[in-house]
């Protein structure tokens, strides 16, 4: 497998925490000597990672001109996630209640990174997307996700409608979001096993995805704008599910 690049403090720190053996070398800006940099370098040294002195120009070239904060790591790709079924079996064995985020047609790496960060914060156990209508996890996604790309499984499936059907067979309710849905997000029970489906800004969910949902809901909008960025909408939906699970006494995600 080809090595890959991670950049930014959050992404690199989480990889050092979760899979230090996969970090081959850490390139760092020698002009940056603040506490945050010292702490990162100490962690890398403790893990036996090779440190490479560099400068802003060299780091920019490694990171593809993206904002790198003075740190770029060359890492081994992590082993591919097991199947969704295996993952959900593990969630069940741990006593968790499935809370999944499904993204249909999200192709912007910044949006995906933000969605992964939100999913991690809200306790979602996985993010699912179609293979042909979505962005994969790249360095930009990892940077924006602030480490969540390393902690939240991201499954890309060949047929999203079929995958949703298989989730239904596991008694997981499929709740889609649509501006024209008659019922509000706050009128549905999200305390049980649920997969929240959001489409890309503009086109929204594809028709087949929409038809596969058990129920459609909208996020109330009180101002002049008609919709939210998909990562913001994901946060609203996932944190409402978290609120119901914790405040209303429903089973929490594991």
Write the pLDDT tens digit of every residue in 232-251: 999 999 999 999 998 655 44
Q: Among 73-82, 197-206, 244-253, which stretch is predicted with the lowest mean pLDDT?
A: 244-253
Both tokens of residue 4? 């890959």
Mean of pLDDT values over 91-96: 85
Mean of pLDDT values over 78-102: 85
Write the pLDDT tens digit of every residue in 122-134: 999 999 999 988 9
Residue 106 near residue 115, CB atoms below 8 Å: yes
Residue 248 near residue 191, CB atoms below 8 Å: yes
Q: Please state, in angstroms and rounded to a whole number, the distance separating the CA atoms of residues 188 and 210.
A: 17
Q: Tokens 């899979």 sit at which residue?
A: 19
pTM across the whole model: 0.73
Q: Please state, in angstroms and rounded to a whole number, the distance separating the CA atoms of residues 149 and 173.
A: 25
Q: Please state, in angstroms and rounded to a whole number, the distance separating the CA atoms of residues 89 and 186.
A: 29
- What topology is assigned to 4-75 in CATH? 60s Ribosomal Protein L30; Chain: A; (3.30.1330)
Write the CB contacts of 42 (distance below 8 Å, at least 6 apart in sequence).
none
Confidence band for 81, pLDDT divided at 50, 70 and 90: low
pLDDT value, residue 254: 47
Q: Please state, in angstroms and rounded to a whole number, the distance separating the CA atoms of residues 157 and 130.
A: 5
Mean of pLDDT values over 81-104: 88
Q: How far apart are the first and last CA of the chain?
A: 32
Q: Please state, in angstroms and rounded to a whole number, the distance separating the CA atoms of residues 66 and 61.
A: 9
β pairing state of 215-218 and 173-177: parallel
| Matching fold, domains 4-75 and 84-247 | no
Residue 191's alpha-carbon distances to 173, 176, 181, 215, in angstroms, are 11, 16, 20, 15
Superfamily the domain 84-247 falls into: SPOUT methyltransferase, trefoil knot domain (3.40.1280.10)
Q: Among 3-7, 160-164, 211-215, 229-233, which stretch is predicted with the lowest mean pLDDT?
A: 3-7
Q: Please state, in angstroms and rounded to a whole number, the distance separating the CA atoms of residues 227 and 220.
A: 9
Listed by start position, the domains of the chain span 4-75, 84-247
- Could you give the angle at which helices 230-247 and 109-122 cross, rounded to 10 degrees? 10
pLDDT value, residue 247: 64
Res 118 pLDDT > 90: yes
Mean of pLDDT values over 212-233: 92
């Amino acid at each position: 497998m080809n090595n890959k690049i991670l950049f930014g403090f959050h992404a690199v720190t989480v990889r050092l925490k979760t899979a230090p053996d996969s970090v081959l070398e850490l390139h760092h800006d020698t002009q940056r000597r603040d506490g945050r940099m010292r702490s990162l370098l100490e962690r890398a040294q403790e893990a036996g990672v090779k440190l490479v002195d560099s400068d802003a120009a060299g780091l920019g070239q490694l990171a593809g001109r993206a904002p790198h904060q003075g740190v770029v790591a060359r890492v081994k790709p992590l082993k591919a996630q097991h199947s969704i079924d295996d993952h959900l079996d593990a969630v069940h064995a741990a006593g968790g209640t499935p809370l999944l985020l499904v993204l249909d047609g999200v192709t912007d790496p910044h949006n995906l990174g933000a969605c992964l960060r939100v999913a991690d914060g809200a306790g979602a156990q996985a993010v699912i997307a179609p293979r042909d209508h979505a962005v994969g996890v790249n360095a930009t996604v990892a940077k924006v996700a602030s480490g969540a790309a390393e902690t939240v499984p991201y499954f890309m499936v060949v047929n999203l409608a079929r995958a949703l059907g298989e989730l239904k067979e596991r008694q997981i309710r499929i709740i889609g979001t649509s501006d024209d849905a008659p019922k509000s997000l706050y009128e549905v029970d999200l305390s049980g096993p649920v997969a929240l489906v959001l489409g890309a800004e503009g086109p929204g969910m594809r028709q087949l995805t929409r038809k596969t949902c058990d129920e459609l809901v909208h996020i109330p909008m009180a101002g002049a704008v008609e919709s939210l960025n998909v990562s913001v909408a994901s946060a609203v939906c996932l944190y409402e599910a978290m609120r119901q699970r914790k405040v209303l006494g429903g089973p929490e995600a594991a």
